[in-house]
Amino acid sequence: MKVLLLPEWGKPFYPRLRKRFPDVDFVEADEPSEVQRQIRDAEVVFGYLTDAQFQAAKNLKWIQTLDAGIEGLLARIPAVIESPVVVTNAQGAGGPQIGEHAVAMILAFSRGLVDFMRLKSERRWDQKFGLSIVQMVLGKTVGIVGLGKSGIEVAWRCKALGMHILAVDKQDVDGEPVVEDVWSVDRLGDLLERSDYVVVTVPYTPQNENMIGAAELARMKPTAYLIVTSRGRIVEHNALVEALRDRRIAGAALDVVVKEPLPEDNELWELDNVILTPHIAGNSPELDERTYNIFEENMHRYLVGEPLRNVVDKVLGY
């Protein structure tokens, strides 16, 4: 059996694959022309293909992707949706990092860190102002939009801080023991009304685009904060800018935006109640190995005939 290994960052891990699965023909390919040649008889691919490479693959049965989101793959290779090729993703590899990032943003807002960094740049020691803005998160409510692996990572960290946890999800998921209530998506408005912090971890699909628009933002408390770690297109950009500019919500922490990199003339740069990070919430030095580990475990499962982890519903898009 031939397995094609595409990501160059995986080279330090590939000797482990060959040692554990000595009977498998693992082939590394970097150049597009080499991938095009090698894909013809490959059964498994670790990484991403172009449409032309996919069309040339006559023996392909399984693709293990490198990220949790697969909208790029489906857009690039629409034929994969109706094909028998199984697609698995790397959901969970960046989950702990996303959980930590979301909590960091919650604490940055609650403890006024953005304002204190501004005061530091101005060399101002303003205790009276500081006392007027700091809050504690104990007893506050976090609403999580999309209770997948990243959402769960956010939830239990917030629970450890003494917060109340609510969530909405399209699937019938179990939030026990950390999530107090998991509602269907038609109760998104209820979640928004009750939450002091709203964390968006739902994956992008065309159906989820702009699921939080002007009407939804209007249901948030004026003291509430929005934190988005999954995809920028979940939130309608113009509606968010207006809500932030008019202080209809207290602030937003955005790791993802509709257009990346964020254009220099975008209004978000000018808003003092916005924290921007450049799509790095799921990253850390450990991410590559965590992504590789998912593939190695799935390689074992594939060879012994066990169900694979993280199988994607190609029609739903996640």
DSSP line for 65-116: -SSS--HHHHHH-GGGTTSS-EEE--TTTTHHHHHHHHHHHHHHHHTTHHHH
CA neighbours within 13 Å on the CB side: how many for 44?
A: 20
Residue 79 structure tokens: 């034929």
Q: Are 44 and 64 in contact (CB under 8 A)?
A: yes
Q: Are 163 and 141 in contact (CB under 8 A)?
A: yes
Q: Please indicate whether residue 111 is annotated as part of the active site.
A: no
Residue 187 structure tokens: 């109760």
Q: Is the peptide bond preceding residue 203 cis, with omega within 30 degrees of 0? A: no
Give the active site residue among 153, 231, 233, 236: 231
Give the active site residue among 279, 290, 301, 309: 279
The owner of tokens 């990253």 is: 283
Give the active site residue among 34, 260, 270, 306: 260
* Mutual angle of helices 113-121 and 95-110, in 10-degree steps: 60
Torsion on CA atoms 89, 28, 6, 308, rounded to nearest 10: -10
Q: Are 32 and 50 in contact (CB under 8 A)?
A: yes
Q: Please indicate whether residue 296 is annotated as part of the active site.
A: no
Q: Is the peptide bond preceding residue 177 cis, with omega within 30 degrees of 0? A: yes
How many angstroms separate the Cα of 85 from the Cα of each of 13, 60, 89, 162, 180? Answer: 25, 7, 13, 44, 38
Q: How far apart are CA 81 and CA 125, in angstroms?
A: 58
Q: Please indicate whether residue 300 is annotated as part of the active site.
A: no
**What are the residues whose beta carbons fall under 8 Å from the beta carbon of 81, sequence distance 6 or more?**
74, 314, 315
Closest C-alpha to 172, from 182, 159, 162 = 182
List active site positions: 231, 260, 279
